[in-house]
Amino acid sequence: MNNLVIAHEQPVLYSADFGNCDALAALDGEAIAAMFAAALRGAGATIVHEMSHAYPGHGLTCVLVLRESHAVLHTWPETGTVNLDIFSCSIRLKSLAAIDELGRLLGARKVSVQEMPRADGRRPPAQSPGA
């Protein structure tokens, strides 16, 4: 296992909804999955595992397990809709940059982003005696 230390910050979930994605209907599942992975890598993510599942005629779900946590993309080409969730507690991962890039690549004419701070499951640093 890689001993790379990831700089830590308060965990945050970014949840984005893209609407009227003009490019979505013309893209196949492989192209969408590659675009998704490239946008996350470009934003500083380290992808540990990728998987996708196509729903014939109804869209795609892509999951990226990241060194920084995870990202999930769901598509509905019949309505031009994409939902995206990126969860991370790393200051290296620029989630909003990935969201902006995906929205641009998919031709989204509507973008809604919610930022939700999440509970931090890490233990606080041990206090030294007498501190």
Residue 64, H or E segment:
strand 59-66
Q: Which residues are catalytic?
A: 69, 74, 89
What is the CATH number assigned to the segment(s) 8-117?
3.60.90.10
**Residue 83 contacts residue 16 (beta carbons within 8 Å):** yes
pLDDT reading at 120 higher than 90: no
Q: Tell me if residue 60 falls in helix, strand or coil.
A: strand
What is the rounded (10 degree) CA torsion for 41, 42, 43, 46? 20
What is the per-residue pLDDT across 65-106, written as a single tens digit (0 to 9) for each?
A: 999 999 999 999 999 999 999 999 888 899 999 999 999 999
User: What's the pLDDT score for residue 92?
Assistant: 85
Return the structure tokens found at 119: 């509970």
**Residue from 41, 32, 79, 87 nearest 60 by CA:** 32
Nearest C-alpha neighbor of 86 from the set 44, 34, 129, 23:
44
φ/ψ of residue 63, rounded to 5: -125, 130
pLDDT beyond 60 at 4 = no
